[in-house]
Amino acid sequence: MTPQHESELEPQELLDMLDTPTGNLHIGIVANYSDTDETRMLLTPEACGLLTSSGIKVCMEHGAGVDVSFPDESYAEYGVKIVTRDEALHAPLVLSYAPLRPKDIKKMNKGAGLLCMMGNGLFEAPVIKALLEKEINLGCLDNMTSHNDEQVFANIIDEIDGRAAIMYAQDSLSYLGGGKGVLLASVAGLNPCEVLIIGIGNEMIAAANAAVASGARVTLMDNDISALQVAKQLCGPLVDTIAIHPRVLYNRVKSADVIITGLTTREFNFPKNLSAAMKESVYVIDLNETHPSISVPRTVAMAISNALVNFLSEMSLKNGLVGMVATTPGVQNGMVTFHGKLVDKLIGSYLGMPSVDISVMVSGTPN
Tens of pLDDT, residue by residue over 248-284, are: 999 999 999 999 999 999 999 988 889 999 999 999 9
pTM of the shown model: 0.89
Q: How far, in Å, CA of 48 to CA of 54, rounded?
A: 10
Q: Determine the pLDDT at residue 108.
A: 98
Q: Determine the pLDDT at residue 364.
A: 57
Q: Determine the pLDDT at residue 320.
A: 94
Q: How far, in Å, CA of 231 to CA of 240, rounded?
A: 10
Residue 68 has pLDDT above 90, yes or no: yes
Alpha helix ranges (H) inside 150-201: 152-173
Residue 1 has pLDDT above 50, yes or no: no
Residue 208 has pLDDT above 90, yes or no: yes
Read off the pLDDT band of 20 (50, 70, 90).
very low
User: What is the DSSP track for 70-96?
Assistant: --HHHHHTTTPEEE-HHHHHTSSEEE-
Mean residue pLDDT across the chain: 92
Name residue 59's beta-bridge partners: 28, 81
- Tell me the domains of the chain and their CATH numbers: 3-150+295-363 (3.40.50.720), 158-293 (3.40.50.720)
Q: Determine the pLDDT at residue 162.
A: 97
**SS3 state of residue 27:** strand
Question: Is the dihedral angle over the CA atoms 160, 161, 162, 163 positive or is it negative?
Answer: positive
Name residue 93's beta-bridge partners: 27, 113
For 113, residues 6+ apart whose C-beta sits below 8 A from its C-beta are 92, 93, 94, 136, 137, 138, 139, 320, 321, 322
For 206, residues 6+ apart whose C-beta sits below 8 A from its C-beta are 158, 159, 160, 161, 162, 163
Residue 193 has pLDDT above 70, yes or no: yes
Q: Determine the pLDDT at residue 261.
A: 96
Read off the pLDDT band of 138 (50, 70, 90).
very high
Find the mean pLDDT for residues 124-132: 98
Q: What percent of the chain has pLDDT over 70?
A: 93
Residue 357 has pLDDT above 90, yes or no: yes
Residue 61 has pLDDT above 60, yes or no: yes
Read off the pLDDT band of 176 (50, 70, 90).
confident
**SS3 state of residue 197:** strand
The answer to whether residues 208 and 218 touch, using CB atoms and an 8 Å cutoff, is yes
Three-state SS letters, 229-240: HHHHHHHCCCEE
Residue 135 has pLDDT above 60, yes or no: yes
Residue 14 has pLDDT above 80, yes or no: no
Q: Determine the pLDDT at residue 11.
A: 42
pLDDT tens, residue by residue, 275-333:
999 999 999 999 999 999 999 999 999 999 999 999 999 999 999 999 999 999 999 99
Q: How far, in Å, CA of 186 to CA of 238, rounded?
A: 14
Q: Determine the pLDDT at residue 99.
A: 98
